[in-house]
Structure 1
Amino acid sequence: MTMSDNRSAAPDTTTGARRWWARAAFALAILAVAVPLVSAGLLGTVGSLLVGVGSVVVMVAALYWFLASRGVLRWISLAIAILSPIVVLVLFIRAHLLAEVVASMVLALLTVPCARAALRGRTSDTAVREVPAPPVRHPVLIMNPHSGGGKVAKFDLQRKAEDLGAEVVLLEGPGTVDVTDLARQAVEAGADLLGVAGGDGTQALVAGVAAENDLPFLVISAGTRNHFAMDLGLDRTDPSRCLDALRDGVELAVDLGRINGRPFVNNASFGVYAEVVRSPAYRDDKTGTVLQMLPDLLAGQAGAPLIAEIGDVTVRNPQAVLVSNNPYSTSDLAGLNRRDRLDRGVLGAVTVSVANARQAVGLLRRANVRGLTQHTSTEVIVDADTRQTPVGVDGESLLLPTPVRCTIEPGALRIRVPRDRPGVRPAEPTVDWVRLRELAWHRQAASPRT
């Protein structure tokens, strides 16, 4: 038997360890339920536990009605959502179950690190392959001095970039500047690297030009949220550290999303979020605009009904659709978390349909499979019975011709990043009890669902 055969015949100790972590998580979860049952007696405690579970259901339903209603009903719903956990806490104290409940909560909290230790092994291959970065002679960096509250000036990015030999172009007007055209002019003038200090929307436009010309692209985390920079492991607290890529950099080949031909690096959102952001009042009063528009949007009385075609799957009348350049974690419905990879060559697609409080509670339990779908595909088409559809693309509100076609270009973007960057680590796995059960009790865990 060869050495290779010996390796293949050896037991998978990593899988075995993950299985025991998964079983430990279930054991702690069972103990969290058993402690009050054993301590306070079966009959009395079962009633208290049912009250606790019921309060969560009532709170979720009340929060839904708060968002979906107006007037007196909205504020009554908010009051119920606030009072539900308070009433349950009082009942536990009166039943002399507070200590048991605290012990159960501690045990429940301990299940989280065990579950993550089990699931972390499933996504350990999260590092995008790095290759040596060739030297550049004429890097051109486009900087938005207003982005991120003035980070370009705050971190002295222009001077530091010019000291490293880069040409800096500031987006200062007058009037609206065509960033795509500006980047193409830089390429025509001999730029052999393009970079952006600005928000994700600007990053995407210049990234598209870099991909078209097979040029390396440098991301400088000078925007407000910097989601793309976060997924690349870049320093979001000090954007000047991103410039280290010019003197000691490596290259990553990552995917680039396209929506009706326009590039995007993070995601495109349809439905509720896109309609709210499109409102002129949103910029001045975000919370008030959301509360004012959500009832009609949730009831389907505002915005055109959508049809999402995700590969071979068709979802009709979802209230929200999120299409992302590579999928987010299974518990991240809003695209606020990290993507563990940017080179899988697929789009992530999440659709949400919540027409009533019962479906809202079903989403909490992950039982409403019709209300929530999560898939991956190389193409997503969102259609509506209107000529144009509002879409939020990398945080910018756009009106795009219908149907809207989202595709992905695998490995199209050469990202130049510093060799040493603080955020290079696997995304922390979220607790998915369905996958955890498969890992704990099946000989081989099932592959991730799409």
Structure 2
Amino acid sequence: MRSIALLGNPDSGDGEAEQVEELLRHAGASVQPFPLDEWRAAAASGAERLVVAGGDGSLGCAAAGAAKEGLPLAVVPTGTANDFAAEIGIPDDTAAACELAVSGEERRTLELGRVGGRPFLNVASIGLAPMAAEHADDLKSRLGGLAYPVGAIKAGATAHPVSCRVSCDGEVVHDGEAWQVSVASTGAFGGGASLEADASDGRLDLVVIEGSSRIRLAKHAYGMRIGSVEGQSGVIDVRCSTVELRLEDDDECLNVDGELVPLAELLEDGVVRFSVEPAAFELIVG
């Protein structure tokens, strides 16, 4: 019988995380449950696998625990958007994802992004993305995954560019206004939007949407929705091992895998620093 340490976030999505323990046992595993904030203890518990049940914002800490202890990680998506699972190809059906978590043998090695020391798997962004997430929070109960594109539309109609200085591996690539600065691993975000990124290449994908007219912003927003914004004029797209971000206004939030994180929690000497751990952990994918 395979032993599993289960990290669960009962606040994700419709609360399906509470059913996961039973489904894992039904699939043939012995399960020791842990609350999400005890991810270090879960990873060090001696289990054969670490399983996390939650939305995108729950996954970074689980991946960090798996990376530290050398454990394979399995994801059971129970959030609203579940962008990571959709990008990687993990089943969105809870029972099927639990079966994969217990019985799957195929693994994929992935990198782990960090912003201010906080782990992330999809994207960390400043500008439009945090505002869109804030609007989406008020709509999730009524619209589900559609809350994210609707929130993005609202943000695009009311947001203003942020003034920032962005460096890639020590070289300044942008100094001025930007609608959005995104640092990506998988590149999936916002309930189906995406950036061109490879979570297995050991590099962060930096995308800066330069400040411009609101009309052009609508084109950029459509490009992000269909995954082609990098090819548009007014968009900077580079790959980096490290990224540094300086902002004129410290009273901002970053959207980190769908979670709003105050800039003050991530700043070090006035700079937000992003880094990547190549080949950090193994994910059960098949």
TM-score category of the 2 structures, normalised to the smaller one: 0.7 to 0.9
Q: Are 2:58 and 1:194 aligned?
A: no
Q: TM-score, normalised by structure 1?
A: 0.51
Once residues 246 and 283 of structure 2 are traced to their aligned partners in structure 1, the CA distance between those partners, rounded to angstroms, is: 32
Once residues 229 and 386 of structure 1 are traced to their aligned partners in structure 2, the CA distance between those partners, rounded to angstroms, is: 34
| Residue equivalent to 1:20 | none
Of the three residues 120, 128, 146, the one matched with 1:264 is: 120
Q: TM-score, normalised by structure 2?
A: 0.77
Once residues 218 and 322 of structure 1 are traced to their aligned partners in structure 2, the CA distance between those partners, rounded to angstroms, is: 26
Of the three residues 138, 148, 151, the one matched with 1:284 is: 138
Q: Is the 8 A contact 1:333 1:350 kept in 2?
A: no
After superposition, residues 155-174 of structure 1 pair within 5 angstroms as 156-163=19-26, 164-169=28-33, 171=35
Change (3 A) 1:150 1:295: closer
Q: Is the 8 A contact 2:165 2:247 kept in 1?
A: yes
Of the three residues 212, 237, 245, the one matched with 1:355 is: 212
Once residues 72 and 231 of structure 2 are traced to their aligned partners in structure 1, the CA distance between those partners, rounded to angstroms, is: 45
Q: How far off is 1:368 after superposition?
A: 6.6
Gaps of at least 5 residues in structure 2 are 140-146, 224-228
Of the three residues 181, 194, 201, the one matched with 1:321 is: 181
Change (3 A) 1:334 1:270: farther
The one-letter code of the counterpart of 2:255 is G
Aligned residues: 262
| Residue equivalent to 2:102 | 246
| Residue equivalent to 2:271 | 403
Once residues 366 and 339 of structure 1 are traced to their aligned partners in structure 2, the CA distance between those partners, rounded to angstroms, is: 7
**Higher strand residue share:** 2
* Identity level (%): 24
Q: Is the 8 A contact 1:253 1:343 kept in 2?
A: yes
Change (3 A) 1:367 1:259: closer
Gaps of at least 5 residues in structure 1 are 1-135, 172-178, 419-450
- Return the structure number with greater relative CO, CA threshold 8 A, min gap 6: 2
Once residues 120 and 107 of structure 2 are traced to their aligned partners in structure 1, the CA distance between those partners, rounded to angstroms, is: 19
Q: How far off is 1:207 after superposition?
A: 1.0
Q: Are 2:35 and 1:140 aligned?
A: no
Once residues 132 and 250 of structure 2 are traced to their aligned partners in structure 1, the CA distance between those partners, rounded to angstroms, is: 19
Once residues 408 and 228 of structure 1 are traced to their aligned partners in structure 2, the CA distance between those partners, rounded to angstroms, is: 17
Change (3 A) 1:411 1:366: closer
Deviations 1:313-332 (A, max 9, x none): 4212212111111557xxx9
Q: Are 2:267 and 1:417 aligned?
A: no
Q: Is the 8 A contact 1:217 1:413 kept in 2?
A: yes
Say what the alpha-carbon RMSD is for the aligned residues: 3.4
Once residues 339 and 291 of structure 1 are traced to their aligned partners in structure 2, the CA distance between those partners, rounded to angstroms, is: 21
Of the three residues 148, 156, 159, the one matched with 1:297 is: 159
The one-letter code of the counterpart of 2:205 is G
Tell me which structure has the larger Cα radius of gyration: 1
Deviations 1:118-142 (A, max 9, x none): xxxxxxxxxxxxxxxxxx8531112
| Matched residue SS, 1:147 | coil
Change (3 A) 1:359 1:387: closer
Q: Is the 8 A contact 2:196 2:230 kept in 1?
A: no
